[in-house]
């Protein structure tokens, strides 16, 4: 099926949507993005993603081309135009096209693109099996809190993990797990405590992470927001990742260490259930 994509105010068949070779997103990765899950044609955790989008833009000094309401309308419209029941909406905003120069253009005209991907979010087969992780060094830049399109290193990390026979990568810096290649990393200690890295410039402030922490606390769990080492993760009762694209998925192996029983953990499965239930109820 040919998708209908949004480009700077126009709705176009995907083959007809063209961006300039001088777009700074292409030349400098001078662009940010967001990903929102869609279930039953409704947007999941939209307000969190919209708020982080504004934060990323303001950190880079890029003006948002649309008002908050217009952005929401475009999200709803792209779902409708593509008949999207379940999947993802990707939004990208670059500083726009300008003659190649490290200095920002004086009068930027940002490029705004949205496209959809239809895929199972709720019934992802990896929920049943869990995933295996390989640890790799975190060689990204130091402003990972800004959701930029500089995704080459996470892509290289995932390829390295797959080369080593794992499903995905966890990135490690100064002995501590920063996050996954495209997800937040969490562990459950043997006493049931949820441990997840505290927020800083070192990692993306996951929207799913924030919701999972609230739900865990609401369910009476203790939550520690601190870094954890690869060794601590390997001896944890459970490990899992969260993101808009997978909600919460258990990690059953890290490098050569089997985690817990080697099957998706009960706590991660419970948290995914709580997240799914609450986010479906608040989807817009």
Instruction: Copy the structure tokens of residue 116.
Output: 């959809």
Is 147 a catalytic site residue?
yes
What is the b/e burial string over 158-190, where b = at least 16 CB atoms within 10 angstroms of the residue's CB? beebeeeebbbbbbbbeebbbbbbbbbbbbbbe
Q: Which is nearer to ligand PLP, 12 or 230 (CB)?
A: 230
For the CB of residue 203, give the shortest distance to ligand PLP in the complex, in Å.
Answer: 6
For the CB of residue 245, give the shortest distance to ligand PLP in the complex, in Å.
Answer: 7
Instruction: Give the integer Cα–Cα distance in Å for 138 and 169.
Output: 10
Q: Which is nearer to ligand PLP, 94 or 208 (CB)?
A: 208
For the CB of residue 167, give the shortest distance to ligand PLP in the complex, in Å.
Answer: 15
**Which H or E run includes 70?**
helix 68-81
**Which H or E run includes 47?**
helix 46-60
Q: Which is nearer to ligand PLP, 97 or 186 (CB)?
A: 186
For the CB of residue 36, give the shortest distance to ligand PLP in the complex, in Å.
Answer: 9
Instruction: Copy the structure tokens of residue 90.
Output: 């990707």
Give the long-range contacts of residues 45-51, CB within 8 A, separation 24 or more: 45/207, 45/208, 45/211, 45/244, 45/279, 45/282, 46/72, 46/75, 46/283, 46/284, 48/207, 48/210, 48/211, 49/207, 49/244
Q: Which is nearer to ligand PLP, 166 or 182 (CB)?
A: 182
Query: What's phi and psi for 109, nearest 5 deg?
Result: -120, 95
Q: Binding residues for ligand PLP, per CB under 6 A?
A: 35, 179, 182-184, 204, 206-209, 242-244
Q: Which is nearer to ligand PLP, 82 or 249 (CB)?
A: 249
State how beta strands 131-137 and 247-254 pair: parallel
The residue of the chain with the least Cβ separation from ligand PLP equals: 208
Annotated active-site residue in 18, 107, 147, 234: 147
For the CB of residue 121, give the shortest distance to ligand PLP in the complex, in Å.
Answer: 11
Q: Among all residues, which ones are annotated catalytic?
A: 147
């Amino acid at each position: 099926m040919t998708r209908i994509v949004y480009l700077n105010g126009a709705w176009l068949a995907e083959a007809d949507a063209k961006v300039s070779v001088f777009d700074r997103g292409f030349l400098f990765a001078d662009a940010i993005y967001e990903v929102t899950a869609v279930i039953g044609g409704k947007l999941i955790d939209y307000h969190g993603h919209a708020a982080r989008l504004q934060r990323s833009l303001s950190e880079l000094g890029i003006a948002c081309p649309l008002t908050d309401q217009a952005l929401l309308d475009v999200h709803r419209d792209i779902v409708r135009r593509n008949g999207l029941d379940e999947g993802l909406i990707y939004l990208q905003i670059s500083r726009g096209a300008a003659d190649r120069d490290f200095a920002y253009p004086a009068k930027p005209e940002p490029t705004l693109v949205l496209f959809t991907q239809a895929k199972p979010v709720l019934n992802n087969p990896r929920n049943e099996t869990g995933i295996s992780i390989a640890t790799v060094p975190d060689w990204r830049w130091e402003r990972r809190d800004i959701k930029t399109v500089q995704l080459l290193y996470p892509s290289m990390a995932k390829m390295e993990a797959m080369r080593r026979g794992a499903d995905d990568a966890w990135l490690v810096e100064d002995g501590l797990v920063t996050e996954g290649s495209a997800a937040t990393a969490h562990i459950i200690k043997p006493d049931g405590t949820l441990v997840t890295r505290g927020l800083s410039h070192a990692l993306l402030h996951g929207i799913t992470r924030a919701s999972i922490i609230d739900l865990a606390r609401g369910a009476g769990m203790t939550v520690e927001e601190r870094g954890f080492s690869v060794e601590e993760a390997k001896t944890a009762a459970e490990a899992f990742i969260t993101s808009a694209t997978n909600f919460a998925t258990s990690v059953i192996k890290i490098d050569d260490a089997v985690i817990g029983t080697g099957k998706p953990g009960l706590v991660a499965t419970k948290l995914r259930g709580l997240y799914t239930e609450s986010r479906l109820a608040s989807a817009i």
